[in-house]
Amino acid sequence: MAPPAPGDHEARRKDVSEAVWRVLAAKGFGGLTLRAVAAEMGASTGMLTHYFPSKRALVTHALDLLEQDTAGRPRRTPPADGLPTVRAMLLDILPLTPADTARNRIWVSSWDLSLADETLTAQQGDRYARLRDTFRPHLETARGLGEIPSNADTGQLASAAVAFVHGLVVQALFDPGRFPEDVQIAMLDDFVARLAGPGTDTAPGSSRDT
């Protein structure tokens, strides 16, 4: 009955991954149990431990899945250098499709676990640093193009952009009715438009990064 073809080890791991994903989307990390995952794919917990020796390994794999899904998600083709690209990148984060909503929901869900574990806290902190770093070069391009002031602190603006978009994600997750697609986009466009403004005028020689 059960096909033990020894070649599709990776394929079976992928099946497990999809079951993990569905459990996470439905019940979050607090509801991620071996039995829930096993039941989701109509298998036994013994089979799970055949692919993931411990719960910790499964959780780690779930976090990897999250990162992998995030990195591999379909993205908009960058329209033009500078601010339009920043806008497109931020749009790619918002929960505008069911897939984006699930991914964001799982990210937010993971924060409880991440905050309770020192190692995971540091990893999440690094992830945020990397995310900010992906915005920075495009903000520098925008500065070079004169789309934002020449004295703008691109590192700080990257942090601000990530902050704004993730804060919007959280509100949208808790109240999708009040944050439909057009509202989210309008808010994002408004935010990007304000990037072009002066912000706080920093006196020369007073700003340092990191």
Partner DNA sequence: CCCTACATACCAAACGCTTGTTACGTACCT
Partner DNA sequence: AGGTACGTAACAAGCGTTTGGTATGTAGGG
Binding site for a second copy (CB under 8 A): 27-31, 105, 108-116, 121, 124-125, 128-129, 156, 159-160, 162-168, 170-171, 173-175, 178-179, 182-183, 185-187, 189-191, 193-201, 208-210
Q: Which does 119 bind (CB under 5 to 8 A by kind): a second copy, DNA, none?
A: none
Beta carbon of residue 113, minimum distance to DNA (angstroms, whole number): 12
Q: Which of residues 126-185 bind DNA (CB under 7 A)?
A: none
Residues 6+ apart with CB under 8 A from 30: 109, 112
Distance CA 200, CA 91 (A): 25
Give one word for 207, left, alpha or beta, with left for phi > 0 and alpha for psi -120 to 50.
beta
Amino acid at 47: M
DSSP assignment of 44-97 equals -HHHHHHH-SSHHHHHHHHHHHHHHHHHHS--PPP-STTHHHHHHHHHTTS--S
Q: Which of residues 36-55 bind DNA (CB under 7 A)?
A: 36, 42-51, 53-55
Task: Report the alpha-carbon angle 14-113-210, nearest 5.
Answer: 100
Q: Could you tell me where the DSSP H helices lie in the chain?
A: 9-27, 34-40, 45-51, 55-72, 83-91, 98-116, 118-144, 154-174, 181-195
Beta carbon of residue 141, minimum distance to a second copy (angstroms, whole number): 20
Beta carbon of residue 115, minimum distance to DNA (angstroms, whole number): 18
Q: Which does 5 bind (CB under 5 to 8 A by kind): a second copy, DNA, none?
A: DNA
Q: Which does 107 bind (CB under 5 to 8 A by kind): DNA, a second copy, none?
A: none
Which one among 14, 26, 35, 117 touches DNA, defined by CB under 7 A?
Answer: 35
Beta carbon of residue 57, minimum distance to a second copy (angstroms, whole number): 18
Residues near DNA, by CB under 7 A: 1-9, 12, 32-36, 42-51, 53-56
